[in-house]
Each structure stands twice: as C-alpha cells, then as structure tokens.
Copies of this chain bind each other. A is one copy, B any other.
C-alpha cells in the first residue's frame, strides 16, 4: 500500500487513486468515466465508486465501466460518525488518495475531512461564494444575476466554502429558468471536473491557505 501524503502543499506528484462518492444519477461520475476512457484523466484512475443510497443510476454507470461499485447506505448506520467510519474504511481498502464528490448528498464532518486534507474535491453549480447550498441555479435565477457558473473546490468543514480550485462563468440568457441554466452549467461542469482531477493527479496544483495555484516548475 502506498503511503498517503498529507502535506497541504501537496506532493511533487499528485494524488492518483480516485474514489468517487455519489448519491444519484451520476452524470458527473459519467463525465469522469468517459474522460478516463479517452485518456483525459491520466495519471488519475477511478478506483472505486461509493453511493450513499442503494439502487441509484450512478451505481449502474460504475459497474458498466468495470469499476468496483459499493453502497454505504447512510440510513443503515446509527449516526454520522459510524457512517463516515465505514466510508473511510472502504476508501482505505481501495487505497484512495483523492476523493471526488459527484452529486454526493451528505455533508461530511470535520473529522472525516481531516483524513483527506486538500484531497476532497466537490463541484457546485454557481460561482462561489455566491449561492452556496442547495438549488444554486434557482437561487441565481431568483436573484436576477446575469452571470453564474460552476465552481470546483476543495472540501473543508464549511458549507461550500473550501478553497476554490477552478471556476467557469456561464451567462444567464433571456428566458432562462433554473432548469435551462442548470443544464448549461452542467455542460461546463462535465468538462471542468475531469480536468481538475487530471491536474491534481499530475501535481500541477498547489493549495496555499485559500489560494489554489499552478505549481511552480
């Protein structure tokens, strides 16, 4: 088993073994799987997919791609700590170095996050810090913004408040509703998330406090 690197500045070469946590349809998981097939995720590899809910489409996507697909059903644990202990155990069994939240609907505790400093990434359908929390595209439409977008960020114990790795703006168009805006945001998300995973695995990114920067050559 390779040693897990916990230096916040990241190793000279980045985390390559990826565990993807899902809860539902798994469209971001599919984008990652497709990127891996066409060689666009290397040197990262998807080594396990874990769902917090049984029988979701994301599990079928993982299985179809020949990936270990496991359920850690949060409703079957006495409390959050017990659930996260099991999650951590499965990730360790698969030697996961980088955890990607892809539509994973459980908030992770500080205790869990501490196992993976600057090693858990999440994707959020707004330009954070605007519109954290649920239904971000609907929040953006209600507020009347003209520009929203997608954010990929490191996860810390705050709600959608960890260091920002990458963002792409998406224009709100006349006549947009939350659904049409979200669909255009997702198209960018499906390009951005695999690219971030690739760059992290290649050791191209360094996290210094709140700032994620290109690593000096």
Closest residue on chain B to residue A150 by CB atoms: B147
Which of the candidate stretches A56-64, A72-80, A102-110, A206-214 sits at the interface with the other chain? A206-214
Interface residues on A, range: 20 to 34
Which of the candidate stretches A1-9, A33-41, A92-100, A161-169 sits at the interface with the other chain? A161-169
Bound CA–CA A166/B168 (angstroms): 18
- How often does this chain occur in the complex, in copies? 2
Bound CA–CA A128/B163 (angstroms): 19
Which of the candidate stretches A43-51, A138-146, A179-187 sits at the interface with the other chain? A138-146
Take A174-B214, A213-B174 as given contacts and tell me if A145 and B127 are in contact as well, using a CB distance cutoff of 8 Å.
yes
- CB pair B144 A212 closer than 8 Å: yes
| A195-217 interface code vs B (CB 8 A; 1 in, 0 out) | 00000000000000111111000
Closest residue on chain B to residue A214 by CB atoms: B174
- Return 16 A-B CB contacts under 8 Å, by A number: A127-B127, A127-B130, A127-B145, A128-B145, A129-B131, A129-B143, A130-B130, A142-B210, A143-B164, A145-B164, A145-B167, A146-B165, A147-B149, A149-B169, A174-B213, A174-B214
Give the interface of A toward B (CB within 8 A).
127-131, 142-147, 149, 163-169, 174, 209-214
